[in-house]
Structure 1
């Protein structure tokens, strides 16, 4: 499959790279890191990255603005996106050939070529693997910076259980490049004053029940009082993850016409719950969308049942 990906990259002069909506560091990092890697080694090709801009991650990379006509005869690559409905910029189907590169469960197979590795911590880790598969390839400092950001983001600074020996080997390849890791870490985890104020509110108001399930409901009114947007509030999903006896937790974040559900756990499988509500993700980190506060109680009940038999003992 890796050979097919390189063959496609070599065959096309125009390459457009997409990723998922509401991007995180891995989405931005793998998308931009792959773009730089291609440009580093095929300088004559036209490579574009597209999707909505996210102010909090603009320091990593900025998106290109391209006309529909650019897709004609182009290769399109989608990074870090399990489901087609989550692809940012729906023009991804307008190219000549489509490649999917992802590390989520392959619940929605799409594309002419698929490279899916659920054992990888991140798609950024997978892109480093592509680089290593070609000993003749070079990697710029900027490509390394973006890929490192993606790995750090999806592993929680190498603290999450998805950090494997292979992850650390890939990160070791990247840190040999010349970029400011301290500055990158500082920017990745920098918080605005208003978001810090909201975090204090979350820590004072989240609930933790007898099943070890933590819950926080953030309404539009709460966000308005702190001058915070939903995508900013979503950054606080792990705000109380270190509280003793917690097994799993859920963030409900109200938007104009829907409620985002962000599920996390320390062992309880939560992507099966997300799937019941049209979502998905990893076993310990998943998301979905619901449309009423009544449904939040259903999600909570499902999470309670899932956590009943899970032990928090080490």
Structure 2
């Protein structure tokens, strides 16, 4: 499969890389990291990375704005995106050939060529694996910038290597990447430093979350609270893991009210929660998923379902 992907990259002059909406570090890391690898090893090719930019990820990179005409006869590669609805920039359908590279459950098997590995800690780890194949098969070289992007993506999706998804292979990959010339402290600062307003909001979360006797916890962040702390819905992504520090917690859900819906962020220390996410217009990994609710009554139903999951967990 990896060699087929490399062959397709060799075949096309124009390559456009996509990732999911509301990006996280792994979305940028895999998308732009792969773009940097292609540029390094095929400087004659035209390579674009597209999608709406998230200011919180400016420390990593920024995507590009391109015209519709660029998609004609282009190879499209989508990274870190489980289903077509979540692909940022729906013009991906205008390309000539579509490749999916992802580590989420393959519920939507889109694309002309698919490589899905649910055992990978991150899509960025998969891109490093693709590089290793390219190194043997096509004499690929790794650039410092590609290494920085891939390392950032792995750090983001493993919670600084704290999540169970961080395997021995993950640590081995990170060990290879840190040998390249980039500032690790700059990566960690960009990813985890928070403005004072977010620290204050984190304090609100610790003061107001609710948890039952089975370790199911929840916190609601309606618009009024976000406005009180001058925080945007996207900025709250830095706070989703906060409740993981609570003793005896098994799984938790954070609700963030956005313009036309309520973002649902689910995390777990054991109980599988991606089935719950699918029930509420979402999906993801067994221990880290996202969904969408369209009323606070629906949000309450998510909480009740999470309580059942935690009560049944052994």
- TM class by shorter chain equals over 0.9
| SS of equivalent to 1:134 | helix
Provide the rounded CA distance (Å) in 1 between the counterparts of 2:155 and 2:247. Answer: 25
1:162-185 deviation digits (Å, cap 9, x = unpaired): 011111111111111111111211
Give runs of aligned pairs for residues 5-44 of structure 1, distance below 5 A: 5-44=5-44
Task: Note if contact 1:234-1:253 (Cα within 8 Å) is conserved in structure 2.
Answer: no
Residue of structure 1 equivalent to 2:94: 94
1:129-160 deviation digits (Å, cap 9, x = unpaired): 01111221101100000000000110111111
> How far does residue 297 in structure 1 lie from its aligned partner after superposition?
1.4
| SS of equivalent to 1:240 | helix
Task: Note if contact 2:76-2:97 (Cα within 8 Å) is conserved in structure 1.
Answer: yes
Provide the rounded CA distance (Å) in 2 between the counterparts of 1:276 and 1:53. Answer: 29
Residue of structure 1 equivalent to 2:116: 116
> How far does residue 310 in structure 1 lie from its aligned partner after superposition?
2.3
| SS of equivalent to 1:108 | coil
- C-alpha root-mean-square deviation of aligned residues, in Å? 0.8
Provide the rounded CA distance (Å) in 1 between the counterparts of 2:236 and 2:119. Answer: 29
Residue of structure 1 equivalent to 2:165: 162
Asked if residue 286 in structure 1 is aligned to residue 289 in structure 2, the reply is yes
| SS of equivalent to 1:249 | strand
Provide the rounded CA distance (Å) in 2 between the counterparts of 1:60 and 1:37. Answer: 15
Task: Note if contact 1:33-1:142 (Cα within 8 Å) is conserved in structure 2.
Answer: yes
Residue of structure 2 equivalent to 1:301: 304
Provide the rounded CA distance (Å) in 1 between the counterparts of 2:276 and 2:141. Answer: 42
TM-score with structure 1 setting the length: 0.98
Residue of structure 1 equivalent to 2:192: 189
Residue of structure 2 equivalent to 1:225: 228
Task: Note if contact 2:192-2:238 (Cα within 8 Å) is conserved in structure 1.
Answer: no
Provide the rounded CA distance (Å) in 2 between the counterparts of 1:183 and 1:294. Answer: 42
Provide the rounded CA distance (Å) in 2 between the counterparts of 1:275 and 1:63. Answer: 29
TM superposition outliers: structure 1 runs of 4+ over 6 Å: none
1:170-207 deviation digits (Å, cap 9, x = unpaired): 11111111111112111111111211111111111111
| SS of equivalent to 1:307 | helix
Which structure 1 segments of 5+ residues have no match? none
Task: Note if contact 2:6-2:134 (Cα within 8 Å) is conserved in structure 1.
Answer: no
Residue of structure 1 equivalent to 2:245: 242
Which structure 2 segments of 5+ residues have no match? none
> How far does residue 309 in structure 1 lie from its aligned partner after superposition?
2.8
Task: Note if contact 2:121-2:165 (Cα within 8 Å) is conserved in structure 1.
Answer: yes
> How far does residue 25 in structure 1 lie from its aligned partner after superposition?
0.4
Provide the rounded CA distance (Å) in 1 between the counterparts of 2:275 and 2:282. Answer: 9
Residue of structure 1 equivalent to 2:270: 267
Residue of structure 2 equivalent to 1:58: 58
Task: Note if contact 1:207-1:214 (Cα within 8 Å) is conserved in structure 2.
Answer: yes
- Which has the higher mean CA deviation after the structures are superposed, 51-60 or 230-239? 230-239
Task: Note if contact 1:15-1:45 (Cα within 8 Å) is conserved in structure 2.
Answer: yes
Residue of structure 1 equivalent to 2:78: 78
Question: Aligned pair count?
Answer: 311
Task: Note if contact 2:3-2:134 (Cα within 8 Å) is conserved in structure 1.
Answer: no
Residue of structure 2 equivalent to 1:174: 177
1:235-274 deviation digits (Å, cap 9, x = unpaired): 2111121111100000011112111111110010000001
> How far does residue 102 in structure 1 lie from its aligned partner after superposition?
0.1
